Amino acid sequence: MKDPFTPEKRSAVMRAVRGKDTGPEMVVRRLIHSLGFRYRLYAKDLPGKPDLVFRGHRKAIFVHGCFWHGHRCKRGSRVPTANQEYWERKIARNRERDKAVRKELLGAGWRVLSVWECETRDAGVIAGKVKRFLE
């Protein structure tokens, strides 16, 4: 199937994708704050610059977009038909990097939680998961 956008429009759409302060990330941040926990954002001194860092507890949370990190949900398993080989390689590299970062953090004595974009749509599920991790 041909891309419905012109190359210029596709480029504009892709440029609009943010790496920080995304919708799913903001859902998780609001939830954690409402539970009474305080955190730091994007610790540059830690591998992978975790989205939320709890230094005193040596815990880190990554909020992953399902598409960008190849989650096994409906949205994450979708592969664009245009330039398919590029996207498959890109997502595979993201997954490998995620594994390496997680392994490095665990080796340094940190606990790590990954929250998926699709999980943020159900407040009850995400609240329980995050609360168990942080307590």
DSSP string covering 76-135: TT---STTHHHHHHHHHHHHHHHHHHHHHHHHTT-EEEEEEGGGGG-HHHHHHHHHHHH-
Residue 54: other Cβ atoms inside 10 A: 19
Residue 135 has pLDDT above 60, yes or no: yes
Residue 38 near residue 52 (C-beta atoms within 8 A): no
**Residues whose CB is less than 8 angstroms from the CB of residue 46 and which lie 6 or more positions away in sequence, other chains included:** 53, 60, 105, 110
Q: What is the pTM of this model?
A: 0.85
What residue spans define the domains of the chain?
21-134
pLDDT digits 0-9 by tens, 41-88: 999 999 999 999 999 999 999 999 898 888 998 877 888 777 889 889
Q: What is the CATH number of domain 21-134?
A: 3.40.960.10
Of the ranges 45-54, 102-111, 120-129, which one carries the lowest mean pLDDT score? Answer: 120-129
